[in-house]
Structure 1
Amino acid sequence: MKLLVVEDEAKLADYLKKGLTEEGFVVDVARNGVDGLHLAAEGDYDLVLLDGMLPGIDGLAVLAALRQSQQTPVLMLTARSQVEDRVKGLQAGADDYLVKPFAFSELLARIQALLRRGRPSQTPTEATILKLSDLELDLIRRKAMRAGKRLELTAKEFNLLSLLLRRAGEVLSRTELAEQVWDMNFDSETNVVEVAVRRLRTKLDQPFDRPLLHTVRGMGYVLEAREP
Structure 2
Amino acid sequence: MVKILIIDSRSLLIKEIKYSFEDEHYRIDKVCSSQEALSKKYSNYDVVIIDSQIRKKDGFQLCKEIREVSTVPIIMITPQGEDYKKIMALEIGADDCLSNPVNILELKARIKVILRRIQKIEDVGMTSEFKVGDFEINTLGRKVMYQKKHINLTGKEFDLLLFLVTNPGEVFDREYLLEKIWGYEYYGDLRTVDVHIRRLREKIEMNASSPRYILTKWGKGYYFKKS
TM-score normalized by structure 1?
0.50
CA distance in 1, matches of 2:42, 2:62: 13
Look up the match of 1:85: 85
CA distance in 1, matches of 2:100, 2:42: 28
Post-superposition CA distance 1:147-176 (Å, at most 9, x none): xxxxxxxxxxxxxxxxxxxxxxxxxxxxxx
1:122–1:71: structure 2 CA closer, same or farther, 3 Å change rule?
farther
What displacement does 1:107 show? 0.7
Look up the match of 1:67: 67
Look up the match of 1:24: 25
TM-score normalized by structure 2?
0.50
**Is the 8 Å Cα contact of residues 117 and 124 (structure 1) preserved in structure 2?**
no
CA distance in 2, matches of 1:125, 1:22: 31
What displacement does 1:56 show? 1.0
What displacement does 1:54 show? 0.9
Q: Percent identity?
A: 26
Q: Which runs of 5+ in 1 are unaligned?
A: 127-228
Look up the match of 1:200: none
Q: Which runs of 5+ in 2 are unaligned?
A: 122-136, 143-227
CA distance in 2, matches of 1:118, 1:14: 26
Look up the match of 1:46: 46
What displacement does 1:124 show? 6.8
Say how many residue pairs are matched: 125
What displacement does 1:125 show? 11
Partner amino acid, structure 2, of 1:97: C
CA distance in 2, matches of 1:124, 1:18: 33
1:77–1:122: structure 2 CA closer, same or farther, 3 Å change rule?
farther
Look up the match of 1:108: 108
CA distance in 2, matches of 1:93, 1:17: 25
CA distance in 2, matches of 1:69, 1:52: 19
1:84–1:42: structure 2 CA closer, same or farther, 3 Å change rule?
closer
Look up the match of 1:220: none
